[in-house]
Structure 1
Amino acid sequence: MHLKYYCLLLITLLVTHLSPAQQQRLPQQRLPQQRYYNLGDFRLENGQVIKNCRLGYRTAGKLNANRSNAILVPTWFTGKSENKLFMAAPDQVADSTRFFTIVVDALGNGVSSSPSNSKAQPGALFPQFSIRDMVRAEYELVTKHLGLPHLYAVAGISMGGMQAFEWLFTYPTMMDKVVSIVGTPDQSAHDRFLWGTQLAVLERGKYSTDAMKTVGALHEMHLTSPEYYHTKLPTEQEYKKYLQAKEAEYVKNNDPFNWASQLRAMLGHDVFRDRNRTQAIRDTKAKALVIVALQDHMVNPLSALQLARDLNAEVLELTGNCGHLANGCEADKIKAKARRFMAREED
C-alpha cells in the first residue's frame, strides 16, 4: 500500500471521532470522494416510487486483476459513509490494503435519497422504504453502476448488520462471505418497544425539536448498559451535563423525518418475510460470521444467535458492558476474528 493512502486511512479514523467543527478544518480532499449513483425513479417493494432516487457511496482500495476482492459495507442507523470508512482501515473487516471497499449510504440517511433532501417528496411525503429496498438499491449500484457480478463479502454494523443479513437471503449466491456485527435478521419484542416508542414520540410530537431531544435521550439510554452508565456517570450533575450535551447533539445532527424513515424500515425488518425459512437457509451459499453483544440493549442478540446456529456460522460473543457499542470497546476481538474469517486463499 502506498504511504500516501495509508495516511489517508489513518486520517479517516481520526475524523470519525472529531466534532463537526473539527472535521470542517480538515482538508476535504484527504477523504475518499463522496460519489453518487442515480437510480432514476426507484420502485419500492410496497409499490411506492422514490423519484429521482440516488445512492451515495465512497470507495477505498483497488480491484484486483480478476475483480474478485470487492466488499460492500452498508451504513448503520442514521450513519453516513464518511463515518463508516474506518471499516476500510488496515486490520479492519474490510481492510482496503487487500480489498476494494465500497461504503454505501443507506436510503434515508441524508446523503442518499431521504426526506430531508428530496425536492419532489420532502419530509412526510417521502415514500416508505424497507431494509430490503436498501439492499435492492445497493445491488443495483454494485451490478449496474460498478459492473461487479459478484462480491467477496458484505459486512455491516447494527442496521448495516441487518442489511448484511438481508443480502444473505435476497442475493444468496452474490457473495462469498457475510459479516453481521450487532445486527439482527428480525426484530425482537424488546427492539420493537424501543424503535416503536421512538417513532411514536416523533409522530405525536410532530417531528419537533423537543420530540427529537426525547428520542435522542431514549436512543442514548439503550446504546450501552446500566452498568456502563453507572461507572461513566456516577453523579446527578454529570448525568445532567451529559444528557444536555447529547440532546443538543441529536437535534443538530439529525433530521427527524430521516430518523423516522429508517426507524420504520427497521421495524418492518424480517429476512424471512414472504420466504420459507428452511428453503432460504438451504439456498444461501455464503459463509457467515455473526458477532453479537450479549449485553446489547438496542439490538437483541437472540435472533442472530439462532440464525447462526441454523447456518452453522462462525460466532463471536462480546461480553463487556458497552452493550451495542461493543464494536468500539471490544474492537481488538473483532479485528482478530475478522482477519481469520476474511482471509482469502491467495493471501
Structure 2
Amino acid sequence: MTHDIFELGDIQLQSRRCIRQAKLAYKTYGTLNAAKDNAIIYPTSFAATHEDAAWLIGPGRALDPERYFIVVPDMFGNGLSSSPSNTPMPGGGGRFPPVTIHDNVQQQQRLLTEKFGIETLRLAIGWSLGGAQAFEWAAAFPDRVERLFTFQSAARTSRHFHLFFDSVRAAIELDDDFHDGFYARQPLRGLRVAARIYAAWGFSQGFFRERLDETALGYASLEDFLVDLWEGWFLKRDANNLLAHIWTGQHADISANDRYKGDLDKALASIRADTIIMPSSSDLYFPPEDAADEARKIPGAEFRLLCSSWGHVAGEGMNEADTATIETAIRDLLAR
C-alpha cells in the first residue's frame, strides 16, 4: 500500500488530549496545476483507507487525475494515520484519545497549505463519515471550498445512528478477550458479532428481499455472504481502531466547535459552496428525510436522491447503476 506521511508534530485535540508526534497518511492522484486551483479533497470513511476510496478515481472517471489534483487524507484511527494500533504507549491502544471530525479537518488543512500551498478547493467530497468531513471543510472554511458533494452522509450524527454505533461498540467491548482495549489478541468473537450487526444495516431490506447478495454479488447463500464479505471486512481491522472511528462517528457534528457553538443551522447556513447532497433512498443510517432537511438549510444547495436498493453501500462502488448516478452528479457539479 503506497502512500505518503505528513509529520504533524504534537497536536492538541478538541478533547484537550494530545497525539504526540502525530502522523497524517495521505495519497494524491494527478498533478497540482500552476494556479493551484484544481485541488479536490476526498477524506476517507469509517474504517477505510485511501485504497477503499480509489474506486471513484481514474482517467475518464468523475474524479479524473488527468484534470484534477485529488488528495485523499486518511482519517486518524484508520491504522495508517495516527491510530490506537500504531501509537506507542502511553497514548496508544485503549488509551488513544478521542478525535473529532473537526480535529481531522484542521490537520488536513495543514497538509494542504503547508505541504502543497493550496488555499482554494475545487471540491470537497465524501461518502459516509468521509462526507461528514467534507461538510466540515465547507463549514470551517466557507471561503475556500468552491463545491461540496456529500453522498450517504450527514453534517451531524443523528440519535438513531448514534444508537446503532453503540451496538457495534458493545459487541466488541463485551468480548472476554477485549480487556478494556489492552488485549493480547484481537477480540475475534466480538468482531464477528459486530460484522453481523453491520450486515443488516449496511444494505437495505430491499437488497435482501431481492436477494442481491446472490444475484448481484454472486454469493451462494446468506451465510456465505456474511462470513466472506462482512466477517472478512471486520476481521482485517484492529478493534481499537474501529472503536476510535465509532467514537468519531458518534460525535460527528460540524457545529461542535468554537465557531458555531453547537448551532447546526448556523453552521449549515454558513456554507457558501455550490452543493449537491445525495442520499440513498434506502439508507438506514442516513435517511433521505435528514439529508433533505440539511439541504434546505444550505443556501442554494441541491438535493438529489439516489434511488437504490443497495442502502448505505450504494455509495461504495459495488454496482454500476448507482456508481453511474453518483458520477453524473459529481460531473454536473464540477462543470458548473
TM-score range with shorter-chain normalisation?
0.7 to 0.9
Q: Per-residue CA shift, 1:303-338, capped at 9, x if unaligned?
A: 322111111312221111101111233111111121
Contact 1:92 1:335 in 2 (8 A): yes
**1:280 counterpart = 2:267:** yes
One-letter amino acid of the structure 1 residue matched with residue 289 of structure 2: L
> What CA distance in whole angstroms lies between the structure 1 residues aligned with 2:60 and 2:326?
10
Q: Which residue of 1 aligns with 2:174?
A: 204
Aligned residues: 313
- Give the secondary-structure state (helix, strand or coil) at the position aligned to 2:304: strand
Q: Which residue of 1 aligns with 2:153?
A: 183
Q: Per-residue CA shift, 1:122-176, capped at 9, x if unaligned?
A: 2101111111111111111111222212211111111111111111111211210
**1:326 counterpart = 2:314:** yes
2:25 to 38, 56, 59: 56
Q: Which residue of 1 aligns with 2:297?
A: 310
> What CA distance in whole angstroms lies between the structure 2 residues aligned with 1:247 and 1:308?
32
Q: Which residue of 1 aligns with 2:197?
A: 218
Residue 72 of structure 1, CA deviation: 0.7
CA separation of 1:106 and 1:318: change in aligned 2, threshold 3 A: same
Q: Which residue of 2 aligns with 1:289?
A: 276
Percent same amino acid at aligned positions?
26
**1:229 counterpart = 2:211:** no
Unaligned runs of at least 5 residues, structure 1: 1-27
Contact 2:37 2:122 in 1 (8 A): yes
Q: Per-residue CA shift, 1:214-267, capped at 9, x if unaligned?
A: 011111221111221231357x98122222324541343111100000000110
Residue 69 of structure 1, CA deviation: 0.5
Cα RMSD (Å): 2.1
Contact 2:191 2:231 in 1 (8 A): no
Q: Per-residue CA shift, 1:29-61, capped at 9, x if unaligned?
A: xxxx41010101111011000111100111111
> What CA distance in whole angstroms lies between the structure 2 residues aligned with 1:291 and 1:338?
10
CA separation of 1:164 and 1:233: change in aligned 2, threshold 3 A: closer
**1:174 counterpart = 2:144:** yes
TM alignment of 1:3-42, pairs within 5 A: 33-42=2-11
Q: Which residue of 1 aligns with 2:101?
A: 131
Q: Per-residue CA shift, 1:54-87, capped at 9, x if unaligned?
A: 0011111111221101001100111101221233
Q: Per-residue CA shift, 1:90-126, capped at 9, x if unaligned?
A: 3444221211011111111011010011123221011
> What CA distance in whole angstroms lies between the structure 2 residues aligned with 1:309 and 1:247?
35
**1:244 counterpart = 2:227:** yes
Contact 2:199 2:230 in 1 (8 A): no
> What CA distance in whole angstroms lies between the structure 1 residues aligned with 2:262 and 2:271?
13
TM alignment of 1:136-147, pairs within 5 A: 136-147=106-117
> What CA distance in whole angstroms lies between the structure 2 residues aligned with 1:271 and 1:169?
7
Give the alignment's TM-score, normalised by structure 1.
0.85
CA separation of 1:154 and 1:233: change in aligned 2, threshold 3 A: closer
> What CA distance in whole angstroms lies between the structure 2 residues aligned with 1:259 and 1:302?
28
Q: Which runs of 4+ in 1 moved over 6 A?
A: none
Residue 299 of structure 1, CA deviation: 2.8
Q: Which residue of 2 aligns with 1:67?
A: 36
Q: Which residue of 2 aligns with 1:341?
A: 333
TM alignment of 1:117-128, pairs within 5 A: 117-120=86-89, 121-128=91-98
- Give the secondary-structure state (helix, strand or coil) at the position aligned to 1:75: coil
Q: Which residue of 1 aligns with 2:184?
A: none
Contact 1:191 1:300 in 2 (8 A): no
Q: Which residue of 2 aligns with 1:105?
A: 74
Give the alignment's TM-score, normalised by structure 2.
0.87
CA separation of 1:239 and 1:279: change in aligned 2, threshold 3 A: closer
One-letter amino acid of the structure 2 residue matched with residue 239 of structure 1: L
**1:254 counterpart = 2:237:** yes
One-letter amino acid of the structure 2 residue matched with residue 255 of structure 1: D
Unaligned runs of at least 5 residues, structure 2: 182-186
